[in-house]
Amino acid sequence: QKEVEQNSGPLSVPEGAIASLNCTYSDRVSQSFFWYRQYSGKSPELIMSIYSNGDKEDGRFTAQLNKASQYVSLLIRDSQPSDSATYLCAVNPPSGYSTLTFGKGTMLLVSP
Amino acid sequence: DAMVIQNPRYQVTQFGKPVTLSCSQTLNHNVMYWYQQKSSQAPKLLFHYYDKDFNNEADTPDNFQSRRPNTSFCFLDIRSPGLGDAAMYLCATSRATSGTSGDNEQFFGPGTRLTVL
């Protein structure tokens, strides 16, 4: 069974620090990887997608992918209290009729 | 702005009373998804449509049905809601279900919070 694993947290960091969120996946042939942010009581919001090994940066966010280790991470630089949310990792297998598998999410708490 | 819209945002129903949730999109995406999300859990895919092609997840109860009358609209029908069906119901869309070009990025609506009394 395809699985996506995340530490449920909470991960607590002070304002201005770097938050590091991690995700592992079991399906070795997965090709597409996504990070969603979900505030309490709200719907998930796509913040990063990554498709090839290495780093992808977008503003304060950096996604890192290592397919050999089946590992994807999200770094948030200069963390702000408004970043406090649950971050969901999602994985999509390769071509065919496939859909996303979500992890349970990691709760991030950024203290002022 | 292009978006995914869900109505109503909050729905209260009685045990066993049928309820319909709606989703519409202005993104002109091929694929529409329905997820169920309970507190502190991952979104659970119920089914999805690729254009008119309906795909039911194996563990989706028969109590849940869906309709997609056109590209823009999709409905979730819960025929006889039970207490265990209380959850957030999320609609999402994407251009495709797989690929590496961004076509499979899913965009969510605001969700409908369902309460069953």
Give the model confidence (pLDDT) of A17-62 as tens digits: 999 999 999 988 888 999 999 999 999 999 999 999 999 999 999 9
Contact criterion met (CB < 8 Å) for A43 and B108: yes
Asked if residue B58 lies in contact with residue B45, where contact means CB atoms within 8 angstroms, the answer is: no
Q: Which of A29, A25, A18, A93 is nearest to A61 (CA)?
A: A18
> For chain A, what is the radius of gyration of the CA atoms?
14
Q: Tell me if B106 and A46 make a contact (CB, 8 A cut-off).
A: yes
Tell whether B99 lies on the interface with A, counting CB pairs under 8 A. yes
Residues of chain A with Cβ-Cβ distance to B107 below 8 Å are: 46
What pLDDT does A96 receive? 55
| Burial status of residue A89 (CB atoms within 10 A of its CB: 0-12, 13-18, 19 or more) | buried
Closest Cβ opposite residue B42 in set A43, A92, A103: A103
Min distance B97 CA to chain A CA atoms (Å): 6
pLDDT at position B102 is 79
Taking a C-beta distance cutoff of 8 angstroms, is the pair A106, A11 a contact?
yes
DSSP string, chain B: ---EEEE-SEEEE-TT--EEEEEEESS--SEEEEEEE-TTS--EEEEEEETTEEEE-TT--TTEEEE--SSSEEEEEESS--GGG-EEEEEEEES-SS-SSSTT--EE---EEEEE-
A62, A33, A100, A12: which is closest to B42 by C-alpha?
A100
Residues of A in contact with B55 (CB under 8 A): 97
d(CA A56, CA A12): 24
pLDDT (tens digit per residue) in B50-101:
999 999 998 999 999 999 999 999 999 999 999 999 999 999 999 987 776 7
